[in-house]
Copies of this chain bind each other. A is one copy, B any other.
């Protein structure tokens, strides 16, 4: 249930929520500011729900200022998503030689330790 990485990927799997993060990457904003670009297409409660998903995933934090709820990006929360991705960087970025070398070391590690999936860091 508290598979935090899955929660983060799931939170990112929605264009509305990614757009909200995009907005927050330029600075804090309260709920109605965040809602503004979307109110033509969805209701305010829908926005609240999206923000709750982002908040539960740890990607944003909400605070209180009178009747406003300023939201901000929670930068560190992006790190474990990025860290997971990092293991695959070699597959799209490096040269073929280095990919071969990489596969060799991974295979070697596997044979040496008998780790079932190498998914820990």
Contacts and interface: CB of A to CB of B under 8 A. Distances in A.
Given A92-B75, A92-B78, A117 B87 contact: no
A107 B9 contact: no
A82 B92 contact: yes
Nearest to A20: B117
Interface string A57-96: 0000000000000000101101101101101110111000
User: Which 10 A-B pairs rank lowest in CB-CB distance, beginning with the nearest?
Assistant: A75-B91, A9-B13, A10-B13, A9-B12, A79-B92, A75-B92, A78-B88, A6-B13, A26-B106, A22-B117
Contact of A3 (B15, B23, B106, B107): B15
Nearest to A30: B119
Number of copies: 2
A25 B107 CA distance: 10
Question: A21, A23, A110, A119 — which one has the most chain B CB atoms within 10 A of its CB?
Answer: A119
29 contacts: A5-B15, A5-B18, A6-B14, A7-B13, A8-B13, A9-B12, A9-B13, A12-B13, A13-B13, A18-B84, A19-B117, A21-B88, A22-B119, A26-B103, A26-B106, A26-B118, A27-B103, A27-B107, A27-B119, A33-B119, A37-B117, A73-B88, A75-B88, A76-B92, A78-B85, A78-B88, A79-B93, A82-B85, A85-B85
